[in-house]
Chain A
Amino acid sequence: MSRYYQPEIETAPREKILEIQNEKIVRQVRHVWDHVPYYRHLMEEKGLTPEDIQSVEDIRKLPFLSKADLRDAYPYGLLGTDLKNCVRIQSTSGTTGKRVVAFYTQHDIDLWEDCTARAIVATGGSEEDVVQVCYGYGLFTGGAGLHGGSHKVGCLTLPMSSGNTERQIQFMMDLNATILCCTPSYAAYIGESLAEQGYKPEDNNLRAGIFGAEPWTEEMRRDIEKKLGIKAYDIYGLTEISGPGVAFECEEQHGMHVNEDHFYVEIINPETGEPLPDGEKGELVFTCLDKEAFPLLRYRTRDICVLNRTPCSCGRTHVRMAKPMGRSDDMLIIRGVNVFPSQIETVLLAEGYTPNYQIVVDRERNTDTFDVYVEVGADQFSDLMSQIQRMEKSLEGALRTMLGISPRVHLVAPRTITRSEGKAVRVIDRRKLHD
């Protein structure tokens, strides 16, 4: 069993990777200049021509693309080749505005599926494996991406798509699935359903899971691993760049290796757009290096993340990105400290609370106030006032340790946190009213 799908590139010396990137970026920028008038115009506004980009060092000169550009250019404005060369469309869910529609040539599909194949092999996957894909099939990239990678590795692929948990469990048990691919929340749900049906974690044949497409915490990982009796691997991707597999986790479970031969990654200061040195927290930006149909350059993901270039014991030489810690548009600055709602969620889960909470930030006498309202679960409620007040104090302490500033914690009754259209309103920032 090989540890790598494409060992030569996955473990290439850093100089080799840089050489590949330098070669590819020159061609990619030229391709975009020739085929994408929208981006060519952005370059011209900055006085740039393709000749200005001679290596990845020069990428920092290029203009950014954002979600707004994708909206403006919808649907064909960022297309990098004739439609007759395209073989596929995938699309985002459109929860944050207009749908993103991404185009693929067969070349683009191939490189994307190579990436997901690398992710599957990194979990120990081989043609011996039975891969159950319960990401949604269709426009969503989750199903198609893992499905293609599974084929490339030669695994027996169960194209389940999402939902119908009964049937998922029946196929999982009857056909001895060994690798599960879905969202982490669905993995946790399948784990619970298995337990409800009387199955113990060792009763299934699963040994690994590849979970992504939504934020999840380290606590959730441990919980899923325990419930299913597997090792849970993180995967990262976005439709704009290709889909899942832009980065994937190895057996170290300590950051996701970015497929740097296809995607150049930067971390920038979300306020100024300046690139930040490795190890600093900022917004994740990707530049495609060899795509034909949808070759986005310097696309701002809005995910806040940290890069780690220290060598990995797995032998892969590609840079690792941490699990994104939040969205740049979610970040709050409270008394000068950066606070992400996801950090609060991590603490709540670790302390045994439900992730139903609300952050209220306000300003009193020129100082930010920071209140966190948390719903108490039935198993935590005590008839003793002193006990509830101790719980509040203890949660304040845990949040202070994580965030570096002290919130006031208020325990509230279940279902009292305001919800809008089914989604909890996580942050109320009243400071804006005073500015």
Chain B
Amino acid sequence: MTLKLPIFMDSQSTTPVDPRVLEAMLPYFTEKFGHPASRNHPFGWEAEAAVDNAREQVAKLIGARDPKEVVFTSGGTESINLALKGAAEMYREKGNHIVTTAIDQRATMDVCKRLERQGIEITYVPVGRDGLVSVEEIAKAMTPKTILISVMFANNEIGTIQPVAEIGKLAKEKGVLFHTDAIQAAGKIPVDVEAMGIDLLSATAHLMYGPKGVGALYVRRKNPRVRISPMIDGGGHERGMRSGTVPVPLAVGFGKAAEICREGMAEEGKRLAALRDRLQNLILSKVDEAYLNGHPEKRLPHNLNISFAYVEGESVLMGLNKEVALSSGSACTSATLEPSYVISALGVDSELAHSSIRFGLHRFSTEEEIDFVGRRTVEVVHRLREMSPLYEMAKEGVDLKSLHWKAE
């Protein structure tokens, strides 16, 4: 079989829609186009039944007791916005402090920054070298004013899986709400809001082979009953928490994607972890001074993040981008021109943050692709090192840290 190029290996950014998902969605664009809130005719009933079914499929994936606890949104970013801003507003009387981590994703960071401007205090708990947040550190950060802990389930860059169940337990003990951004985790690894003490959970369809444009916020209804202020006012859809017509085809796709993920999770996770390990070994056995970022075991099965000392990430991507789609923590690949704050937060040298490459495997990744990507990555890194002054100096025994760099 010939390899089809370019190879997509950026599955923490998005995933392709599974053909089974698309098939489930299609009728809801044309013949089954009703509005799920139209209560008085069959078109509405049909749409409502489809949305209810999707809600149940998503609820099952995350272990929610009641499908009504699933609120459809436009995606992960909206879910995070709704969870954090909605809780901050609703519980303003109770307190004004939120605890999160230094490596939570951009949406959480940006929402927190806005909330800070509105008088909410935020603590960004640091993480260890492996990307893990310590539950004790979270406990220490809490004050009598704390209303919410928000910790991502698994990191989008390094794949590190946080001790979510322990954090949930802590939150319960302290009587504080717990939100987790499970955008990367849901559908990939077991997520159980009941067993893990999760009160609010954000997820998105397009990272689990569903369509872009739909996500969900799980909002606990019992023990405790969580209330959040809506951000969008209107027809009172989604139990008043998120007005706006539910995009039925997208919701149906989300539900189907969740069902497929749940049914195949164990097998798929095992297969992808084996492929990922193969890629990791291919690269680390052939490149010196290449470092795995994140926790070696507690990580997503389909994620691999490696920093290559002495070469800059974007230049690695450029050498590969006709053949392989990857992502880098390099400043040059970000809109802000800052290197990855996630890799930086691990306490690794900042030049290694510029050198990080993320490999994201997915349902359709093959062993052949893995071998190709591994081989080409090694070639490109070696080529770039041949033209790297830092590599040359390091080989000459120059201590790069002892030099006084004339920065721009």
Q: Do A and B come from one complex?
A: no
